Amino acid sequence: MHSLLAFLPGSFFPTRCARLPWTCPGRASSGKAAKRRWFARQISDPFVRQAKEEGYRCRSAFKLLQMDSQFGLLRPGLRVVDCGAAPGSWSQVVVQRVNALGVQARPQGVVIGLDLSPIDALPGAIFLDHCDIHNAETQKRVQHFLPGNIADVILSDMAPNASGIRQLDQSNMMLLCYTVLALAESTLQPGGSFLCKLWNGADAGTLRRHVETLFKDVRQVKPLASRSESAEIYFVAREYCGQNKVI
């Protein structure tokens, strides 16, 4: 397999986060068929090609671009936390949209990305890698890097490693969602926004009702760049009603 990979052109691997299915422990569909499906999907996916052309680390960038165009979450000067940031394509989008490099004559924003995995450096972003959202220290580390210890937007594209056991994976996903929501409750500026990936399932409604108690406006979104066969959806929540100190 590795010798075949060596002969494929670089443009075949435009993204760093397209997970190789046969490398996922516990994944039931490993084997030749899974490899064939993965290669076929990569070749035919327009977002994979576009990510390569536009210099994004991952096709996921287009999910955030589409949701931001629809809901206007990001603008120059905002402080944004990107949870599950590796390999960094969402952070690339955020750095541009909040003017984190200060290249536009507009307010300069701040981008903090965190992930369990290492993340290649990105000018304009502060990355906390080997950082688990479930760890009690994470909230303090994130707040430490935020001016005023407060964020305007919290994003989560986190997903647990698939175990192959559906109910376990779904519970782990929900745990990630509730943990990032707790980070939002302690860190978001009143009026701030929250965007969180989840897998659509029976417990999505319970999570949504909880998010609705904290934000004035909550929408469920499936961006065009999200594969139709994927159960992933996003909650976009705006106008946080919490009481964190306004800085």
Ligand X SMILES: C[S@@+](CC[C@H](N)C(=O)[O-])C[C@H]1O[C@@H](n2cnc3c(N)ncnc32)[C@H](O)[C@@H]1O
Q: Which are the catalytic amino acids?
A: 197
Contacts of 41 (CB under 8 A, 6+ apart): none
Structure tokens at 178: 């509730």
Looking at beta carbons, which pairs linking 37-43 to residues 24 or more positions away fall under 8 Å? Answer: 42/12, 42/13, 42/18, 43/12
Q: How far is the CB of 54 from ligand X (least distance, A)?
A: 13
Q: d(Cα 111, Cα 134) in Å, to the nearest integer?
A: 20
Q: By rule CB under 6 A, what string of x and - marks binding of each residue 128-167 to ligand X? A: ----xxx----------------------xxxx-------
| Nearest-10 crossing angle of helices 61-71, 89-97 | 40
Decide if 112 contacts 80 (C-beta within 8 A). Answer: yes
The nearer residue to ligand X, 203 or 232, going by C-beta atoms, is: 232
Nearer to ligand X, 33 or 178 (CB): 178
Nearest distance in Å: CB 13, ligand X: 15
Stretch that binds ligand X, among 20-28, 108-116, 143-151, 208-216 (CB under 6 A): 108-116
Does the footprint of ligand X cover residue 86 (CB under 6 A)? yes
Please identify which residue in 20, 24, 34, 116 interacts with ligand X, judged by CB under 6 A. Answer: 116
Among 47, 62, 90, 199, binds ligand X (CB under 6 A): 90
Q: Among 51, 67, 81, 89, which residue interacts with ligand X (rule: CB under 6 A)?
A: 89
Separation of alpha carbons 194 and 238, rounded Å: 6
**How many helical (H) and strand (E) elements, i.e. helices and strands, does the chain have?**
8, 7
Residue nearest to ligand X (CB): 84
Residues 196-215 binding ligand X (CB under 6 A) are none
Which residue's CB is nearer to ligand X, number 224 or number 241? Answer: 224
Q: What Å distances lie between residue 195 and 26, 128, 157, 207, CA to CA? A: 29, 19, 8, 13
SS3 of the chain: helix, strand, coil, percent, to 5: 40, 20, 40
Longest Cα–Cα distance of the chain, Å, equals 57
143: CB partners within 8 A, 6+ apart? 149, 150, 186, 187
- Give 115 or 152: the residue with its C-beta nearer to ligand X: 115
Q: Does 70 bind ligand X (CB under 6 A)?
A: no
| Number of chain residues interacting with ligand X (CB under 6 A) | 24
Return the closest-CA partner of residue 67 out of 173, 174, 197.
197
Confirm or reject binding of residue 57 to ligand X (CB under 6 A).
Answer: yes
Q: Considering the complex, what minimum distance in angstroms separates the CB of residue 63 from ligand X?
A: 8
Question: Mask: binding to ligand X, 23-42, rule CB under 6 A, as x and -?
Answer: --------------------
Residues of this chain that bind ligand X (CB under 6 A): 17, 57-58, 60-61, 84-90, 114-117, 132-134, 157-160, 176
